[in-house]
Amino acid sequence: MIPAPDKRLNRNGGALRIGRILIPFRLTPSPDRFLEKQPVALPLHASIIIPVLNESAGIEAALRALSSWRDSGHEVIVVDGGSTDDTVEKARPLSDRVLVESPGRSHQMNAGASIAGGEVLIFLHADTRLPDDALAQLERFVGSLAVWGRFDVRLSGRRPLYRVIAAFMNGRSRLTGIATGDQALFVRRAVFDEVGGFESIPLMEDVSFSQRLLPYSRPYCIGSPVVTDSRRWEKHGAWRTILTMWRLRWRYWRGDDPAKLVAQYYPGQAVSPKPEPTTVSHAKTNPDL
């Protein structure tokens, strides 16, 4: 049964709106707050969905890191956004399904979800690695009352600043309930279908997704961190990247069009037109491409 949006916010708390963002808060603790501290682990059937674009250099290592998941009966789905390198060819023997779709992370993730058979969907970036105890942690999530969640994140670089950045990202997420794609979002399949998947926008799709999930539950936070490659920070400079992301997030919160913001996030790259929304369905109807 899909849990209804939490109407207790009306009598036990409220919400703070900042532009697009609606952040719920409570004046008294939610009853499920205590039940989720030691949830009972339950069997998990998961689908890991990885959107990719020109990830030839790292896709094989990323998929080999998930081989134990496949051995345990979980599925790995790679959704390519039109790579011009050999990402697809390298991904085929190391994954269960490979789709080729029009580019756009939200569209690609929705396409992967449309053929996924798992009861829990995990959205993983190609440059992000799950912790060794991820499976056990997610089994506890299945036994909890939460309907979605995310991992803490750690950046791969050794600079002390990267630890500060990760701590800020994790703390912000715990405070606001808003998670980012670098934190490996996961969600129960029924609720993903209920909210309609990711919004068809070229940027901030993870923020929008979090907003629409918050009325159902606060995110289940797994403290064992995923490790995300720090290449983006190293390529563009850590402080410059921080300022750019803060500026873009603030503009999104105040209502600016994500289609205009994406050009600043990916300078010098052509922005693909907005794809047609993907109809999220549980049935496996599309053949591998």
The predicted structure's pLDDT at residue 5: 62
pLDDT tens across 239-278, in order?
Answer: 777 777 777 767 666 766 666 666 666 555 444 444 444 4
Note the pLDDT of residue 263: 63
User: Would you give the distance in Å from CA 140 to the centre of its chain?
Assistant: 19
**Greater pLDDT, 79 or 30:** 79
Integer-rounded Cα Rg, in Å, for the chain is 18
Higher pLDDT, 26 or 255: 255
- The tens digit of pLDDT for each residue in 144-193 reads 999 999 999 999 988 898 899 899 999 999 999 999 999 999 999 999 99
For the stretch 202-236, pLDDT in tens is 888 999 999 999 999 999 999 999 999 987 767 76
Give residue 33's pLDDT band: very low, low, confident or very high (50, 70, 90): very low
pLDDT computed for residue 262 by the predictor: 65
Is a pLDDT exceeding 60 seen at residue 17?
Answer: no
Confidence of residue 2 (pLDDT cuts 50, 70, 90): low
pLDDT in tens, 121-131: 999 999 999 99
The answer to whether 45 touches 74, Cβ cutoff 8 Å, is yes
Work out the angle between the directed axes of helices 238-253 and 160-176 (0-180°, nearest 10): 20
Residue 9 pLDDT level (bands cut at 50, 70, 90): very low
Quick check: 75 pLDDT over 80? yes
State percent of the chain over pLDDT 90.
Answer: 60
Share of the chain above pLDDT 70, in %: 71
pLDDT value at position 271? 46
Residue 217: the pLDDT is 97
Token couple for 132: 């060794």
The stretches of the chain forming alpha helices (DSSP H) are 9-12, 32-35, 59-64, 67-71, 87-91, 105-115, 134-142, 160-176, 189-195, 205-213, 231-236, 238-253, 258-265
Confidence of residue 7 (pLDDT cuts 50, 70, 90): very low
**Domains of the chain listed by start with CATH number:** 9-25+39-230 (3.90.550.10)
In this prediction the pTM is: 0.78
pLDDT beyond 50 at 284:
no
Nearest to 66 by CA among 84, 83, 51, 47: 47
Q: Is the pLDDT of residue 64 over 50?
A: yes
Question: Mapping DSSP to helix (H, G, I), strand (E, B) and coil, where does residue 83 land?
Answer: coil
How many Å apart are CA 120 and CA 117, to the nearest integer? 9
Mean pLDDT for the stretch of residues 28-47: 63
Question: Worst-scoring range by mean pLDDT, 97-106, 195-204, 259-268?
Answer: 259-268
Task: Quote the pLDDT of residue 234.
Answer: 73
